[in-house]
Amino acid sequence: LVPVITIDGPSASGKGTVAQRVAAALGFHYLDSGALYRLTALAAERRGVVWRDELAVAKLAGELDAVFDGAAVLLDGNNVTEAIRSEGIGIGASVVAALPAVRSALLARQHAFAEAPGLVADGRDMGSVVFPDARLKVFLTASAQARAERRHKQLLAAGEPADLAAIAADLESRDARDRARKVAPLQQWADALLLDTTDMGVDEAVEQVLSWWKN
């Protein structure tokens, strides 16, 4: 059985960075499950399929021609690394992610990432639905204020205009949507260890996950 570490948590908590660093430290594969929902939303947009059309979007999700090549993401052979990170596609991702048929269409693809020597999987339902038998489950979070400040810093570094209050409001509504929907709601699972990174740097968060893994 391939060992799996799941890291679930809210937007802008820093779980992606921590998950990638843990994977690199252990020599494990890395699954960014949010990217699959973003790719599905982008594929639908490019084919003129509306995000709420559950069956049509699920069909696209099942047939997604996606390649993860290091940090680059390809869709139908085109580099979409930046395109899937746009705000509009983030909204589309959360719309298509609320459709049960889309989630099941992406299950097999997510399971396929669990290859030797191991996997670190990042998302909302990694420990609950996709990899319920994972050996270590982490719920990584931070206060709303800390998460808004992190996203703000990220946008400024990317040279994008950013307003802290607007970002905080956006995160709040995204969390509410992720928490309230019927499938894969955002919550801490009973068997996940809580990692609150409000007053913690990335290095310290990575060290904590690695020490849980080793013990």
Cα separation, 203 vs 213, in Å, equals 15
Cα separation, 9 vs 189, in Å, equals 10
Q: Does 150 bind ligand CDP (CB under 6 A)?
A: no
Cα separation, 12 vs 172, in Å, equals 11
| Interface stretch with ligand CDP, choices 31-39, 63-71, 137-145, 195-203 (CB under 6 A) | 31-39
Sole binder of ligand CDP in the list 31, 40, 75, 94 (CB under 6 A):
94
| Interface stretch with ligand CDP, choices 50-58, 91-99, 137-145, 202-210 (CB under 6 A) | 91-99
**Residue 25, Cβ density class (10 Å: 0-12 exposed, 13-18 middle, ≥19 buried):** middle
The least distance separating ligand CDP from the CB of residue 25, rounded to whole angstroms, comes to 21
Q: Does 37 bind ligand CDP (CB under 6 A)?
A: yes
| Interface stretch with ligand CDP, choices 18-26, 50-58, 60-68, 86-94 (CB under 6 A) | 86-94
Q: Does 197 bind ligand CDP (CB under 6 A)?
A: no
Strands 72-75 vs 66-69: parallel, antiparallel or unpaired: antiparallel
Backbone conformation region of residue 213, classed left if phi is above 0, alpha if psi is from -120 to 50, else beta: alpha
| Interface stretch with ligand CDP, choices 34-42, 53-61, 137-145, 188-196 (CB under 6 A) | 34-42
**Residue 116, Cβ density class (10 Å: 0-12 exposed, 13-18 middle, ≥19 buried):** exposed
Site residues for ligand CDP per CB under 6 A: 11-12, 33-34, 37-38, 90, 93-94, 97, 123-125, 174, 178, 184
